[in-house]
């Protein structure tokens, strides 16, 4: 047979188009070797491909004499690239190698990765086989290393590499390649040379409120893990009267622990890192004076709550600063109490809001809004404090009554007084709106009339729990009704019902209030109390029929109300425009009139609120 000749080492059945089947022992012509395949021609002249390890080459390798010599690496055929500087060895066919009887070199035992202690000897071994003379080359990470003992393959195919006095530079990828003229086999593994890790860093502690007298110790892993992937920590402590450190915990993987039930002592902690062979030097120590734990906990709670609320809380202890006196009001969310400053004796209003995680945003929003405001018709704000499980908004105490209670207690009203209250409210709103803040909760309970013996009654706007900040456009999408008014929509503008409140929504509420003061009738309320009907009326701007009650007032009032009750908020009058309305800017009649109609309205409203459990108390 011309050309290179090979013999099939076992049967091969063609499974693809370009394959050709052949039987064990068939002698075939090898036309080409390419990409792991041998192109062969059978005796019958048919040709096709066969994986080259099925073909045992018979040319050039027939004599035992030749294979037993150390020869230069022969030319390598096909896709197998020659390996330069490769030492060559005679063929080795270990008895176990019969499982893989082709012409390619092969590994009976591959290299195995390991981790060893720095300084120890690295020993790697494998077992190989090759029916033909072959070359062998080792590769290791430290190319400049002087002492490397590489043994020639034993008769049974055992090969080994020995490196004494390992250093961290010997960590890495080790490869041994063997190649003969038919192909190449490679085995590789990782060797990790483990050295001493550096100590953990940034050891810190903080108080932990979840357990009694507890702290949390935290640290950062060492910069150098000593080449190991494994790392554990041991925490130790000492006290002034102790001569040495004692173990708190050993062998933890995480970079932090909680230590609870600390005594009233001074503790010093340190941490060690260790890997499978070495322990690091100790970390820098941290000292905890556990006598101050309660105080530290208070501060920690305060900081945590400040962060959650987005408000700087008053640092001083609430109980040390204030005497808590009688209740001055109650809302749906809160109780309002009179507070007396223990130092100055001054009184304040403290709005107590329970600390409920879902309400934190709302509470924070109210405090932040109040903190931005300073206006004679807006309640003054002094700060927010934490008092046991409640947040307390500390405000100016308004000495007075909600507007309707005030009017009923007076027993009379004048158009001039109505105008004064409206003016006060509009100047507060103009101020808010120019700051991009909408109150969105205007209703009689939030309008306190401050009465002092010397001054005219003054209207003060309170309760910013529904306020929204309009940083961009004057419309906001909210998933909730921006205010809940005892289950009623009485003071809500059409766009609030559509969950798109604007600053102009406040002007609608002002007009509802004026309408009530003038007529004793709620402008959109269904007399039968049907909420759906009231909503429809608001959306359509359909005002209740009660014109007779308006006869006593100037038509300017009606004109003003009409400009505020515009369903489309863009066309509604703004707070600034309202300030220059004739009814606001011209003097109004001082003539007093009875307020039975307002009393009736209050009775009805109280009944309605009672049934929906919103009852403001004064």
Ligand X SMILES: Nc1ncnc2c1ncn2[C@@H]1O[C@H](COP(=O)(O)OP(=O)(O)OP(=O)(O)O)[C@@H](O)[C@H]1O
Least Å distance, CB 394 to ligand X, is 9
- Binding to ligand X, residues 454-483 (CB under 6 A): 462-463, 465
Binding status of residue 365 toward ligand X by CB under 6 A: no
Q: Which stretch binds ligand X (CB under 6 A): 82-90, 229-237, 396-404, 512-520?
A: 396-404
Q: Report CA-CA distances (Å) from 296 to 109, 309, 314.
A: 62, 20, 15
Q: 191 or 379, CB closer to ligand X?
A: 379
Query: Strand order of the sheet with strand 286-289?
Result: 246-252, 232-238, 266-274, 286-289
Residues found in the chain: 618
The secondary structure element, H or E, covering residue 519 is helix 505-519
Quote the least distance from Cβ 562 to ligand X, whole Å. Answer: 28
Least distance (Å) from ligand X to the CB of residue 357?
A: 18
428 counts as binding ligand X under rule CB under 6 A: no
Q: Is 504 annotated as a binding residue?
A: no
29: region left, alpha or beta (phi > 0 left; psi from -120 to 50 alpha): beta
**Given candidates 132, 137, 351, 420, which one binds ligand X under the rule CB under 6 A?**
351
Query: Least Å distance between CB 301 and ligand X?
Result: 24
Contacts of 145 (CB under 8 A, 6+ apart): 163, 169, 170
Contact flag: residue 394 with ligand X (CB under 6 A): no
- For residue 348, the minimal CB distance to ligand X (Å) is 8
Of 205 and 406, nearer to ligand X (C-beta) is 406
The only residue of 180, 187, 334, 574 in contact with ligand X, by rule CB under 6 A: 334
300-305: long-range contacts, CB 8 A cutoff, minimum separation 24? 300/206, 300/207, 300/209, 301/209, 301/386, 302/386, 304/209, 305/355, 305/386, 305/391
- DSSP for 228-244 reads -S--EEEEEEE-TT-SS
* Residue in 412, 415, 370 with CA at minimum distance from that of residue 395: 370
Interface with ligand X (CB under 6 A), residue from 333, 423, 470, 550: 333
Of the candidate residues 4, 337, 397, 439, the single one contacting ligand X (CB under 6 A): 397
Assess contact for 8 and 26: CB atoms under 8 A: yes
Task: Single out the residue of 402, 401, 430 nearest to residue 506, CA to CA.
Answer: 430
β-bridge partners, 520: none
Is the CB of residue 318 less than 8 Å from the CB of residue 341? Answer: no
Asked if 403 interacts with ligand X (CB under 6 A), we say: no
CA dihedral (219, 225, 230, 232) positive or negative: negative
State which residue, 208 or 446, has the beta carbon closest to ligand X: 446
Tell which one of 122, 305, 314, 379 touches ligand X (CB under 6 A). Answer: 379
Q: Does residue 395 touch ligand X according to CB under 6 A?
A: yes
User: Is residue 337 close enough to count as binding ligand X by CB under 6 A?
Assistant: no
Q: Which of 349, 363, 404, 584 binds ligand X (CB under 6 A)?
A: 349
Spacing of C-alpha 114 from chain mean position:
39
We find the least distance from the C-beta atom of residue 215 to ligand X, in angstroms, to be 37
Is 392 an interacting residue with respect to ligand X (CB under 6 A)? no
CA distance 166 to 194: 9
Q: Which of residues 32-61 bind ligand X (CB under 6 A)?
A: none
Q: How many helices (H) and strands (E) does the chain have?
A: 13, 33
- Is residue 373 involved in binding ligand X (CB under 6 A)? no
Q: Decide: is 130 part of the binding site for ligand X (CB under 6 A).
A: no
Of residues 587-616, those binding ligand X (CB under 6 A): 614, 616
Instruction: Count the Cβ atoms, other than its own, within 10 Å of residue 327.
Output: 13
Position 329 contacts ligand X (CB under 6 A):
yes
Q: Least separation, in Å, of the C-beta of 611 and ligand X?
A: 15
Q: For residue 128, give every residue at least 6 positions away whose Cβ sits within 8 Å of its Cβ, in sequence order, or none.
A: 92, 105, 106, 107, 108, 136, 153, 157, 159, 178, 185
Q: How far is the CB of 460 from ligand X (least distance, A)?
A: 7
Q: Indicate which single residue of 30, 336, 442, 521 sits in contact with ligand X (rule: CB under 6 A).
A: 336
Report the binding-site residues for ATP: 351
Binding site for ligand X (CB under 6 A): 328-334, 336, 349, 351, 379, 395-398, 402, 445-446, 448, 462-463, 465, 614, 616, 618
């Amino acid at each position: 047979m011309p050309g290179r000749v090979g013999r099939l080492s076992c049967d091969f059945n063609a499974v693809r188009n370009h394959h050709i089947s052949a039987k064990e022992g068939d002698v075939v012509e090898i036309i080409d070797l390419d990409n792991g395949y041998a192109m062969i021609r059978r005796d019958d002249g048919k040709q096709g491909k066969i994986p080259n390890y099925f073909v045992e080459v018979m040319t050039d390798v027939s004599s035992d004499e030749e294979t037993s010599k150390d020869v230069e690496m022969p030319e390598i055929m096909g896709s197998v690239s020659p390996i330069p500087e490769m030492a060559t060895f005679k063929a080795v066919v270990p008895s176990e190698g019969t499982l893989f009887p082709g012409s390619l070199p092969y590994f009976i035992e591959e290299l195995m990765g390991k981790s060893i202690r720095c300084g120890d000897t690295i020993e790697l071994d494998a077992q190989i086989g090759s029916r033909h003379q072959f070359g062998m080359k080792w590769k290791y990470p430290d190319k400049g290393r002087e002492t490397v003992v590489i043994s020639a393959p034993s008769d049974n195919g055992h090969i080994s590499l020995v490196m004494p006095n390992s250093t961290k530079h010997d960590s890495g990828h080790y490869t041994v390649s063997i190649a003969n003229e038919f192909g190449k086999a490679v085995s590789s593994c990782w060797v990790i040379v483990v050295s001493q890790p550096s100590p953990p860093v940034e050891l810190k502690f903080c108080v932990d409120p979840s357990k009694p007298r507890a702290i949390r110790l935290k640290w950062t892993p060492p910069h150098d893990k000593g080449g190991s992937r494994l790392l554990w920590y041991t925490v130790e402590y000492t006290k002034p009267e102790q001569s040495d450190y004692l173990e708190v915990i050993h062998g933890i993987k995480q970079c932090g622990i909680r230590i609870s039930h600390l005594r009233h002592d001074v503790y010093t902690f340190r941490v060690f890192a260790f890997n499978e062979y070495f322990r690091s030097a100790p970390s820098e120590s941290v000292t905890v004076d556990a006598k101050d734990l309660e105080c530290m906990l208070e501060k920690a709670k305060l900081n945590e709550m400040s962060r959650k609320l987005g408000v700087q809380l008053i640092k001083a202890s609430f109980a040390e600063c204030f005497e808590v006196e009688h209740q001055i009001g109650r809302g749906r969310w809160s109780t309002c109490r009179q507070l007396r400053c223990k130092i100055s004796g001054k009184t304040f209003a403290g709005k107590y809001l329970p600390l409920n995680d879902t309400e934190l945003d709302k509470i924070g929003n109210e405090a932040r809004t109040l903190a931005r405001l300073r206006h004679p018709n807006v309640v003054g704000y002094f700060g927010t404090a934490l008092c046991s499980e409640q947040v307390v908004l500390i405000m100016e105490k308004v000495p007075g009554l909600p507007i309707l209670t005030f009017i009923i207690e007076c027993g009379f009203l004048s158009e001039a007084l109505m105008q004064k209250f409206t003016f006060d409210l509009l100047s507060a709103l103009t101020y808010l709106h120019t700051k991009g803040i909408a109150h969105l909760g205007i209703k009689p309970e939030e309008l306190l009339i401050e009465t002092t013996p010397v001054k005219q009654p003054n209207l003060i706007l309170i309760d910013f729990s529904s306020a929204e900040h309009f940083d961009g456009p004057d419309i906001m999408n909210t998933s909730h009704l921006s205010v809940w008014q005892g289950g009623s929509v009485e003071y809500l503008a059409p766009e609030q019902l559509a969950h798109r409140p604007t600053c102009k929504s406040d002007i609608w509420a002002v007009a509802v209030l004026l309408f009530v003061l003038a007529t004793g009738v709620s402008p959109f309320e269904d007399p039968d109390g049907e909420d759906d009907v009231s909503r429809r009326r608001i959306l359509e701007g359909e005002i209740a029929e009660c014109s007779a009650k308006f006869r006593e007032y100037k038509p300017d009032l009606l004109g003003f109300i009409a400009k505020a009750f515009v369903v489309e908020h863009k066309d509604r009058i703004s707070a600034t425009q309202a300030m220059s309305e004739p009814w606001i800017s011209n003097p109004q009649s001082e003539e007093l009139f009875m307020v039975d109609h307002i009393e009736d309205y209050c009775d009805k409203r109280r009944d309605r609120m009672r049934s929906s459990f919103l009852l403001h108390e004064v």
